[in-house]
Structure 1
């Protein structure tokens, strides 16, 4: 029976293994290329960390760019979680005039091409003094994450039995008390999913910083790597670029591996509700 069960799952293992290899090969290749010798890079003889030293010393320094990206990502996560938690609770638990229409309008933002939003935002942020600002960049990234985050939090709240909330209200707990003491604990897998998506978007986005940031000391890491790769006479420093890609990928891989169980649970809570 055990052999029959194993053979029955063989196609699953083959497909899963093939997909894992397909996604891992580019990452492994990039890691090896970042330490491999190449005549047009800082690592010209033998394997070593010459490309990483180039990345470390570039312009304002790798630590500054890491700090910029971390600040933008953490602030984007905080704003996205705070707004989507309140909005998802309102849409998922309360009935008011125009609720569904308003929710559809929020979701419709996803249908608008990302780049078309940046031009008016660039003008608006110039008037508000938020251009070339990491805080302004975080606001833009939050804006584009909110529709998905609001959707995830709404279905997460709707998956929680109403009897739990009603019991707390009967015991004298207020609306915000129910949200803070009970509902947040019930929807935390959805919150982790939203937070992970917001972090990945804030950490990896290139287009918004390209529009809004023009001071090299304020560059987030993706924009710094893009400027690093272009060297004199049109040459491209592939070694330093690959080193930058590895540095960018490590936090994303770590967070996903640590949170993948809760990430899947957050999606499943909404799927089971549907």
Structure 2
């Protein structure tokens, strides 16, 4: 009886939390197609708000391309750097290794908005100010501390005997990393990639400050600009449509990669 009571309580609590978290998403989808006099969908249910979003300024497809381009670049840069850094911290012994790793993690305690002005100046000196590549580099900087931490614990969870066997067969350090270790830490790679994509896709402050040209704006900035109408009015319908468009790729990716994402976080816990 006690076990059944605990099971019932668990399902009731889980169901209540699910409703609590899903309700804003469901309401956003409903509001994006519901009729409202101050939106692009004034009569009946339809996709008038999505049409307004599609035709806004440079066009929805342009903003989607900018966001996708920046997010993919951020994932590529983050994975490349975190793989090398995480493997070095996990497998090599050198003077000051632990201190350097702690300093890397300490970056997480610095509010990233305080770094935007120095980074803005640095990008200008590099000729990357106002470019999507420069924005991707800045977003990569924000993701590296967590990414290096995740890759280190992922590599440490792999038995060293696997590497030693490969080296006995003539494989070098780089060959072991690319041919064996990357397959062994695939859940960690997916976790880092997913986190990097979601952070880059949803970031608003960095694109707002670092990119000023309208045709290079990412989707969150475009939606924020779209919601402001004349006389201070807010187009809630178009805003909700933009939120739906921004949320769909995140939901699809998380649903597809959820199993690997959980395994990535569990790898370090199992080792501990």
The TM tier, using the shorter chain, reads over 0.9
Which residue in the other structure is 2:45 paired with?
47
* 1:25-44 matched pairs, under 5 angstroms: 25-44=23-42
Residue by residue, what CA displacement relative to the aligned partner does 1:177-218 show, whole Å, maximum 9, x if unpaired? 000111001100000000000000010000000110110100
User: Partners of 2:17 and 2:142 in 1: how far apart?
Assistant: 29
Which residue in the other structure is 1:205 paired with?
203
Which residue in the other structure is 2:227 paired with?
229
Q: Give secondary structure in 2 for the equivalent of 1:160.
A: coil
Q: Give secondary structure in 2 for the equivalent of 1:192.
A: helix
Of 175, 179, 198, 1:181 maps to: 179
Which residue in the other structure is 1:131 paired with?
129
Which residue in the other structure is 1:219 paired with?
217
Once the two structures are TM-superposed, the CA of residue 124 in structure 1 deviates from its matched residue by 1.1
Once the two structures are TM-superposed, the CA of residue 137 in structure 1 deviates from its matched residue by 0.3
Once the two structures are TM-superposed, the CA of residue 7 in structure 1 deviates from its matched residue by 4.0
Residue 154 of structure 2 corresponds to residue 156 of structure 1: yes
TM-score (norm 1): 0.97
* 1:62-81 matched pairs, under 5 angstroms: 62-81=60-79
Aligned-CA RMSD value = 1.0
TM-score (norm 2): 0.98
- Which blocks of at least 5 consecutive residues in structure 1 are unaligned? none
**Which deviates the most, 6-15 or 113-122?**
6-15
Once the two structures are TM-superposed, the CA of residue 143 in structure 1 deviates from its matched residue by 0.2
Which residue in the other structure is 2:139 paired with?
141
User: Partners of 1:120 and 1:137 in 2: how far apart?
Assistant: 13
User: Partners of 2:82 and 2:227 in 1: how far apart?
Assistant: 37
User: Partners of 2:79 and 2:14 in 1: how far apart?
Assistant: 32
Once the two structures are TM-superposed, the CA of residue 8 in structure 1 deviates from its matched residue by 3.4
User: Partners of 1:58 and 1:148 in 2: how far apart?
Assistant: 36
User: Partners of 1:12 and 1:63 in 2: how far apart?
Assistant: 44
Q: Give secondary structure in 2 for the equivalent of 1:9.
A: helix
Residue 101 of structure 2 corresponds to residue 103 of structure 1: yes
User: Partners of 2:92 and 2:12 in 1: how far apart?
Assistant: 46
Residue by residue, what CA displacement relative to the aligned partner does 1:222-254 show, whole Å, maximum 9, x if unpaired? 000000000111111000000000000000000
Q: Number of paired residues?
A: 272
User: Partners of 1:18 and 1:148 in 2: how far apart?
Assistant: 31
